[in-house]
Amino acid sequence: KNEVEQSPQNLTAQEGEFITINCSYSVGISALHWLQQHPGGGIVSLFMLSSGKKKHGRLIATINIQEKHSSLHITASHPRDSAVYICAVLFSATPRLLYSGGGADGLTFGKGTHLIIQP
Amino acid sequence: KAGVTQTPRYLIKTRGQQVTLSCSPISGHRSVSWYQQTPGQGLQFLFEYFSETQRNKGNFPGRFSGRQFSNSRSEMNVSTLELGDSALYLCASSLDFTHRWLAGGGSETQYFGPGTRLLVL
């Protein structure tokens, strides 16, 4: 079964702390997606990656394909970083599935990490 | 550049009714994906449309259907509503997100709409 596990489920930290959120998945993937969801429900895409590391401002995402694991880091955290962070993966599909016009999986999501940064 | 828009934003229906939700993608985007978010199950993939064709489908019953028009706008329909269909329904648009990443060498992302909150009574 294709599964995505996130940890921790909830995280409360003080402003300025270094934050790490983890995501593990069960089988080979084509891509991993980190998303941010604010209390109003809107979702913003933070990173898409299939290997290595990406950085955008205070956010860093890394992925280890061999270990089937990704981390999202937030440096110098701020109260405005408070949100739910969701990991989603696109599991690899065989060429047959890819070109047969259907059957390939869409994104599979983790349950999310509720992050609260206190001033 | 306008973002992804969804209408209506809020909707209340009763069991047994049907509902149609609309999604207008970013101009130039041909792929529209739909997702359901509930407190219990989290986010789940419903289906993806590309150039008016359903390309991928998640594990949902046949009561959930959709379509895409020639201008890439997409609708999803839920017939015979059940209480468990109460959820936030999100759509996301892209140039060709799934295909490009599955084929290798993908670089693009999806852009999410604000969602439609459906309450079934």
Q: How far is B22 from chain A (nearest CA, A)?
A: 16
> Mean pLDDT across the stretch A73-89?
96
**Who's near A3: CB < 8 A, 6+ residues apart?**
A25, A26, A108
Does the beta-carbon distance from A48 to B102 stay under 8 Å? no
* A101 — pLDDT class (breaks 50, 70, 90): very low
User: Could B110 and A45 be called an inter-chain contact, meaning their C-beta atoms sit closer than 8 Å?
Assistant: yes
- Is the pLDDT at B106 greater than 90, yes or no? no
Number of residues assigned to chain A: 119
B residues 51-80 near A, CB within 8 Å? 53-58
A18 has pLDDT over 60:
yes
Residue showing tokens 């060709």: B96
For B6-22, what is the mean pLDDT? 97
Q: How far is CA B25 from the centre of its chain?
A: 11
Q: Is the pLDDT at B97 greater than 90, yes or no?
A: no
Cβ–Cβ contact A45 with B under 8 A: yes
Q: What is the pLDDT of residues B15-30, one digit of tens each?
A: 999 999 999 999 999 9
Question: Cα A3 from chain centroid?
Answer: 13
Q: What is the per-residue pLDDT across B27-73, written as a single tens digit (0 to 9) for each?
A: 999 999 999 999 988 999 999 999 999 988 888 999 999 999 999 99
> Residue B41: closest CA among chain A residues belongs to which residue?
A111
SS3 for chain B, per residue?
Answer: CCCCEEECCEEEECCCCCEEEEEECCCCCCEEEEEEEECCCEEEEEEEEECCEEEEECCCCCCEEEEECCCCCEEEEECCCCHHHCEEEEEEEECCHHHHHHHCCCCCCCEECCCEEEEEC
Calpha distance B95→B99 (Å, rounded): 10
The CB density around residue B75, as the number of other CB atoms within 10 Å, is 17
Contact by Cβ (8 Å): A68, A24:
yes
pLDDT in tens, A30-69: 788 999 999 877 899 998 888 899 999 999 999 998 899 9
